[in-house]
Chain A
Amino acid sequence: MEMSVVWRRTVPQLLVAIILIVMTAFYFLYIDKATKAAIDSWDKLLIDYSIVIAAIAAIVGGVDVARYHVSLIMKREKEQIPFSSITLILEITCVVFAFYALATGVPILTQPQFSWIYLNLQVPTSSAMYSILVFYIASAAYRTFRARNPPALLLIVGIIVMLGNTSLGFVIWPGFAPLRDWIMTGPNAAGYRPIVIGVGLGTIILGLRLILRREVTWMGRRD
């Protein structure tokens, strides 16, 4: 076997398999206190490594974002230039805050300028995106709940659950709430549990495939 294949395929596969076996053993088996204390220090070390890797990966991510938006500006795509410029300006601003934090020792999260950007730009825009969901749910529900053949069972069940969740439903007929509870705890739970069992089994089989080195799609190349 070529050495490059060993580094590219075998080593990552073995690492994943070993970590999976250790994690599974810790979850299911009794480990005495002395062994647990010894392995806990290794566990902490691995977590520290992952934090360092994530921090460095964030820099790579920032470079990736900048590279993409610079390429759009270079292409002179008129519609995209304002958005890409704003993204780049904000990214550079955050980098300046990070260097300021390094120079002064004031953590970036406690800097008032950073807090201002976070509270006045990121929080409202995230909230706006979340609120847009209401309209998407309405449009998806409209398409789904249209009365069609065969008899629109979804429409009927949907209306009952919606009315059961609102005070208007109670005013129309007090029985909507208990009926909604029965639908949610009966047919709905019966429908969900097989899915949950299936996901559990699927995860176990996926884990087995990873331990046995049969799952290779996450690495790309199959050679």
Chain B
Amino acid sequence: MARLAGKYGARLIVTHGVPEAIASIEEIVRDGYFSEGRPELYNPVDNARYLTDVQFAYASAAQAVILRENASANIVIGPFWAESLILSEAGTMVGAFQIGGTARDVQIPFFVLVCDYAFIGEEIFAAGAMASGDAATLASITGQDVGKLLSIILIVLGLILLPLGVRLATYLLW
């Protein structure tokens, strides 16, 4: 995202609530602008904003950023709880293009309903690998798919064997 913002000369605002991550987030955003040859666009005070680590105070502050800055795109990806809908509805209010994603199953429906594009579950992990463009990293997604295929085979096999009195799950536990 930081690289894309640098490439197109867009203003990127990253809000976060983890004080331990301040340095790394500033570094990632800085790197995005610098590597695309636009260091003049980087301003650590404006581009990477630590708001607070309190859940609803963060939701309130991030919502304010979206509304006051009149964000044109709102990308909300991560482990969110109740604030997921607050953040994405703020994006809807300003008519922002929205991408949402989380691995927390109870929050996925909110992103699916409100966002233009939603990453469902493991797609957020795959997105990171896709963005890297590294062949070995991309191969790990294939490994993930093989795991899914194996799970499907085991589920179907379990369903077939269950009426015959065989509980496949007991053989898988050792």
| Whole-angstrom distance between the Cβ of B6 and the nearest chain A Cβ | 13
B22 A64 Cβ-Cβ under 8 A: yes
| Whole-angstrom distance between the Cβ of A199 and the nearest chain B Cβ | 4
User: Which of A126, A140, A218 is close to B55, meaning CB atoms less than 8 Å apart?
Assistant: A126
Residues in A neighbouring B103, C-beta threshold 8 A: 199, 202-203
What is the chain B residue whose CB lies nearest that of A141? Answer: B113
B148 A57 Cβ-Cβ under 8 A: no
What is the chain A residue whose CB lies nearest that of B21? Answer: A57
Instruction: Scan B67-87; emit 1 where CB is below 8 A from any A CB, else 0.
Output: 010000000000000100110
Residues in B neighbouring A10, C-beta threshold 8 A: none
User: In the bound complex, how far is the Cα of B126 from the Cα of A198, in angstroms?
Assistant: 11
Q: Are A199 and B19 CB-contacts (below 8 A) given A133-B82, A140-B110, A209-B140?
A: no
Q: Are A205 and B105 CB-contacts (below 8 A) given A64-B22, A65-B52, A133-B82?
A: no
Residues in B neighbouring A203, C-beta threshold 8 A: 103, 122, 125
B144 A201 Cβ-Cβ under 8 A: yes
B122 A199 Cβ-Cβ under 8 A: yes
User: In the bound complex, how far is the Cα of B27 from the Cα of A198, in angstroms?
Assistant: 31
A interface residues, tally (CB under 8 Å) = 50
Asked if A67 CB lies within 8 Å of chain B CBs, one says yes
B19 A60 Cβ-Cβ under 8 A: yes
B82 A201 Cβ-Cβ under 8 A: no
Which stretch of A97-105, A162-170, A189-197 is in the interface?
A189-197
A 72-109 contacts with B by CB, 8 A: 79-80
Asked if B41 CB lies within 8 Å of chain A CBs, one says no
B interface residues, tally (CB under 8 Å) = 55
Q: Secondary structure of the A side of the interface? A: helix
Q: Are A136 and B54 CB-contacts (below 8 A) given A195-B120, A198-B122?
A: no
Q: Are A125 and B134 CB-contacts (below 8 A) given A136-B85, A140-B114, A217-B128?
A: no
User: Which of A192, A205, A220 is close to B141, meaning CB atoms less than 8 Å apart?
Assistant: A205
Residues in B neighbouring A57, C-beta threshold 8 A: 19-20, 22
User: In the bound complex, how far is the Cα of B19 from the Cα of A60, in angstroms?
Assistant: 7
| Whole-angstrom distance between the Cβ of A110 and the nearest chain B Cβ | 19
Q: Are A201 and B151 CB-contacts (below 8 A) given A64-B22, A133-B86, A136-B89?
A: yes
A206 B19 Cβ-Cβ under 8 A: no
Asked if B94 CB lies within 8 Å of chain A CBs, one says no
User: Which of A198, A214, A220 is close to B136, meaning CB atoms less than 8 Å apart?
Assistant: A214
Residues in A neighbouring B136, C-beta threshold 8 A: 214
| Whole-angstrom distance between the Cβ of B139 and the nearest chain A Cβ | 9
User: In the bound complex, how far is the Cα of B54 from the Cα of A57, in angstroms?
Assistant: 15
Residues in B neighbouring A130, C-beta threshold 8 A: 56, 82
Asked if B132 CB lies within 8 Å of chain A CBs, one says yes
| Whole-angstrom distance between the Cβ of A84 and the nearest chain B Cβ | 11
What is the chain A residue whose CB lies nearest that of B131? Answer: A217
Q: Are A195 and B31 CB-contacts (below 8 A) given A60-B19, A136-B89, A214-B136?
A: no
| Whole-angstrom distance between the Cβ of B148 and the nearest chain A Cβ | 6
Q: Are A202 and B49 CB-contacts (below 8 A) given A136-B86, A140-B89?
A: no
User: Which of A60, A71, A204, A205 is close to B45, meaning CB atoms less than 8 Å apart?
Assistant: A71
Residues in B neighbouring A68, C-beta threshold 8 A: 45, 49
Residues in B neighbouring A71, C-beta threshold 8 A: 45-46
B105 A192 Cβ-Cβ under 8 A: yes
Identify 13 new A-B residue pairs, CB closer than 8 A, beyond the known A140-B113, A202-B103, A216-B132.
Answer: A57-B20, A61-B22, A61-B52, A67-B45, A68-B49, A132-B86, A140-B85, A140-B110, A141-B113, A144-B113, A199-B103, A217-B131, A220-B27
10 contacts between A and B (CB under 8 A): A60-B19, A68-B49, A129-B57, A195-B108, A197-B151, A198-B144, A202-B123, A219-B28, A220-B28, A221-B31
